[in-house]
């Protein structure tokens, strides 16, 4: 125990001796998407000689700890959000939890400031954690949802929700949007482009994807059995499990080899049945290899998934989480554009959906240096 304490003390003091900026990266624990899109950000921070501390809770923090075992991590209080089993219940269930969420945001702010003072952090980058802003220090908020799409049942609250969202975002010193600053050639649509945004506070940093177009660590058979269909699950419970159970019932009707990544970060188990392979969790190099080999990806229509698909130029079947208006909007948008095939969870017919997806155009993004420049500007302000 004494050795561990000494190591932690050395890690927190070393940045001052080396004159490295210490930056906390804190993603929201809502599925895995907020954490996965922080992976390229963390790599860029490390490349630019920053000391990075991870902060968060639940599966999203576990994922980052597995991806960056050399980095220290700080526990943050969970929002303790309860998700409904049925999508149509989402508006009411979430509305009832707003007071609790606001209390947790206030608690989160106190905790992150105490931790920052203890470890000597110079800045924080928060991915959708509204309370993770530091007093008197640079605090960056990452989101693609500037203009939140409210469910029809809560449309009367839309002005209040947009006002609250803006209020919380402007507690930070800057807002980074993981998309291109183009009115038409973008990924988030009206989520970030409904109205022009002031450039001094809002900065578009380009899509954030951990995926590479070249197989940086190829995993060939027998690791993967020539996968044609890749199923990638994520998102909050119980909807993640419900989709998994639905897909497992329909997978036997497929003639192509299938590999499923369940999105369960607690274990790394794998089981195989004929031409199916089911992994609880795949680290980035393995998942990257799987997606490169697959002809079609089956996944939720979360924004981080959209960015990964665009980075690899893959075709996909998108299944929005019932009741999540953001995912429903993105799935419908890309379906209308002929990019990805979208299917509702309660009417999904997997074999037909895959054939439809193969007829779609897919999407490919050109890599730019927007993230690199944003990180350079942030670190430059700290030195």
Query: Any idea which residue has 């149509």 for tokens?
Result: 88
In this structure, the answer to whether residues 342 and 373 fall within a common structural domain is no
Spatial CA neighbour of 230 closest among 179, 191, 184, 286: 286
In this structure, the answer to whether residues 15 and 58 fall within a common structural domain is yes
In this structure, the answer to whether residues 188 and 337 fall within a common structural domain is no
In this structure, the answer to whether residues 50 and 154 fall within a common structural domain is yes
d(CA 230, CA 307): 16
**Is the residue at 308 inside a domain?**
yes
pLDDT (0 to 100) of residue 3: 36
Burial 289-326 (b: 16+ CB within 10 A, else e): bbbbbbebbbbbbbbbbbbbbbbbebbbbbbbbbbbbb
Spatial CA neighbour of 224 closest among 267, 257, 256: 257
Query: Any idea which residue has 């038409």 for tokens?
Result: 184
d(CA 214, CA 264): 26
In this structure, the answer to whether residues 160 and 256 fall within a common structural domain is no
Report the sign of the C-alpha dihedral through residues 266, 268, 273, 276, in that order: positive
In this structure, the answer to whether residues 124 and 246 fall within a common structural domain is no
Q: Spell out the alpha helix ranges (H) of 323-363.
A: 325-336, 350-358
Q: Tell me the HSE value of 188 on the side-chain side, using a 13 A CA sphere.
A: 26
- Residue 150's domain comprises 2-206+368-382
In this structure, the answer to whether residues 145 and 258 fall within a common structural domain is no
Angle at 128 between CA 122 and CA 131, to 5 degrees: 60
d(CA 290, CA 296): 11
Asked if residue 279 lies in contact with residue 260, where contact means CB atoms within 8 angstroms, the answer is yes
- Report strand pairing: 341-342 vs 296-299: unpaired
pLDDT (0 to 100) of residue 219: 60
**Is the residue at 320 inside a domain?**
yes
In this structure, the answer to whether residues 158 and 268 fall within a common structural domain is no
Phi (first) and psi of residue 359, to 5 degrees: -85, -10
In this structure, the answer to whether residues 56 and 119 fall within a common structural domain is yes
**Is the residue at 91 inside a domain?**
yes
Q: Does the reported pTM lie above 0.85? A: yes
Mean pLDDT by 10 residues, the chain (383 residues): 35 51 96 94 98 96 96 91 68 75 92 95 97 97 95 82 93 97 92 90 96 71 74 90 95 93 87 89 91 96 96 96 93 97 96 97 85 96 86
d(CA 374, CA 350): 41
The per-residue DSSP string of 131-145 comes to: T---TTS-EEEE-S-
**Is the residue at 127 inside a domain?**
yes
pLDDT (0 to 100) of residue 163: 92
In this structure, the answer to whether residues 124 and 261 fall within a common structural domain is no
| DSSP-assigned beta bridge partners for residue 230 | 259, 297
In this structure, the answer to whether residues 6 and 105 fall within a common structural domain is yes
**Is the residue at 213 inside a domain?**
no
Chain centre to alpha carbon of residue 128: 10
| CATH code at position 111 | 3.40.50.2000
In this structure, the answer to whether residues 53 and 128 fall within a common structural domain is yes
pLDDT (0 to 100) of residue 145: 96
pLDDT (0 to 100) of residue 217: 61
Total domains, the chain = 2
**Is the residue at 219 inside a domain?**
no
**Is the residue at 214 inside a domain?**
no
Query: Any idea which residue has 């302000």 for tokens?
Result: 381
**Is the residue at 211 inside a domain?**
no
């Amino acid at each position: 125990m004494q050795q561990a304490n000494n190591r932690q003390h050395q890690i927190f003091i070393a940045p001052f001796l080396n004159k490295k900026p210490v930056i906390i990266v804190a993603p929201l624990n809502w599925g895995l998407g907020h954490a996965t899109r922080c992976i390229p950000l963390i790599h860029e921070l490390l490349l630019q000689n920053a000391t990075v501390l991870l902060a968060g809770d639940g599966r999203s923090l576990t994922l980052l700890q597995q991806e960056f075992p050399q980095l220290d991590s700080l526990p943050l209080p969970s929002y303790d959000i309860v998700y409904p089993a049925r999508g149509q219940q989402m508006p009411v269930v979430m509305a009832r939890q707003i007071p609790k969420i606001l209390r947790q945001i206030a608690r989160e702010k106190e905790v992150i400031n105490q931790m920052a003072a203890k470890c000597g952090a110079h800045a924080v980058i928060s991915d959708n954690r509204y309370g993770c802003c530091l007093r008197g220090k640079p605090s960056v908020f990452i989101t693609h949802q500037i203009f939140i799409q409210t469910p029809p049942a809560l449309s009367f609250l839309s002005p209040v929700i947009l006002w609250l969202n803006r209020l919380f975002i402007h507690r930070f010193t800057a807002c980074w949007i993981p998309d291109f600053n183009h009115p038409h050639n973008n990924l988030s649509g009206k989520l970030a482009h409904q109205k022009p945004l002031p450039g001094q506070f809002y900065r578009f940093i380009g899509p954030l994807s951990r995926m590479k177009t070249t197989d940086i660590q190829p995993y060939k058979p027998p690791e993967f059995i020539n996968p044609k269909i890749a199923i990638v699950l994520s998102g909050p419970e119980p909807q993640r499990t419900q989709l998994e159970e639905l897909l497992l019932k329909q997978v036997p009707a497929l003639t192509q080899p299938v590999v499923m990544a369940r999105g369960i970060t607690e274990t790394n188990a794998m089981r195989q049945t004929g031409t199916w392979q089911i992994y609880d969790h795949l680290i980035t190099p393995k998942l990257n290899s799987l997606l490169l080999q697959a002809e079609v990806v089956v996944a939720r229509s979360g924004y981080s998934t959209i960015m990964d698909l665009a980075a690899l130029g893959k075709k996909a079947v998108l299944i929005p989480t019932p009741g999540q208006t953001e995912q429903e909007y993105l799935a419908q948008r890309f379906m209308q554009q002929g990019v990805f095939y979208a299917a509702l969870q309660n009417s999904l017919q997997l074999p037909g959906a895959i054939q439809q997806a193969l007829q779609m155009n897919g999407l490919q993004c050109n890599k730019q240096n927007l993230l690199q420049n944003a990180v350079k500007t942030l670190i430059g302000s700290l030195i």
